[in-house]
Amino acid sequence: MSPLLDVDALSVRFETDDGVVQAVDELSFELAEREVLGIVGESGCGKSVSLMSLLRLLPPSAKVTGTARFDGVDLLSAPTKQIRRIRGREIAFVFQEPMTSLNPSFRVGRQIAEVLERHLDLSRRAADRRAVELLDLVRIPAPDRRVREYPHQHDRHGARVRSEGARRGRADDRARRDDSGRDPRPDARYP
């Protein structure tokens, strides 16, 4: 059986005023459906850059080479519209530091619901209800109250990671990324 995600010789470099910076050099891996892959390494080694390149979230100064096929789709050359359908619905990843990915200006529940509205075509009311359910699935205490809080009010780092996991780790995701080595699925157990 062919892998759901097949990345081969992925390289990312940035053109800067000081010259070329090689951020990723020929990364290769395969991921089967329902398999979870944790990307670990030293700070600045290219974990996030690698994963962001797969979803084409890097700035124009990034030069990406290699191949990355997801369920038969070439992620590096597919039309932008197709990538937008895949991004967040089929592939998601949870950043190691949730305070950089959760917007501090918006309540946690609204951020979760917004993703559900966009990718699952839920009404605002249905998405708000589902946000509470997802926080409950990732074992956030009092989820009906916590959806109204801002990210900084989630007092423990683990609670912020779980909130981001709820935002990214919906049941319909088939490929997940986590640059902290954690399992970002909504039913995963966190310390």
Full-prediction pTM beyond 0.75?
Answer: no
What pLDDT does residue 87 have?
Answer: 82
Amino acid 183: pLDDT: 46
CB neighbour list of residue 102: distance below 8 Å, 6 or more residues apart: 108, 111, 151, 160, 163, 164, 167
Over its length of 191 residues, how does the chain's per-residue pLDDT go in tens digits? 789 999 999 999 998 888 899 999 999 999 998 888 888 888 888 888 998 899 898 888 899 999 999 999 999 999 998 998 888 778 876 666 655 667 777 888 998 888 888 878 889 999 999 999 988 887 888 899 989 988 877 665 456 555 655 655 543 444 444 444 444 444 444 33
In degrees to the nearest 10, what's the CA dihedral of 148, 151, 154, 157?
Answer: 160
Domain ranges of the chain: 5-78, 98-174
HEC profile of the chain = CCCCEEEEEEEEEEEECCEEEEEEEEEEEEECCCCEEECCCCCCCCHHHHHHHHCCCCCCCEEEEEEEEECCEECCCCCHHHHHHHECCCEEEECCCHHHCCCCCCCHHHHHHHHHHHHHCCCHHHHHHHHHHHHHHCCCCCHHHHCCCCHHHCCCHHHHHHHHHHHHCCCCCCEEEECCCCCCCCCCCCC
- The pLDDT score that the predictor gives to residue 24 is 94
Q: What is the pLDDT of residue 42?
A: 85
Q: How distant, in Å, are the alpha carbons of 37, 40, 47, 171, 191 from that of 181?
A: 8, 6, 11, 19, 13
Q: Cα–Cα distance between 134 and 191 in angstroms, integer?
A: 18
Give the pLDDT score at 98. Answer: 54
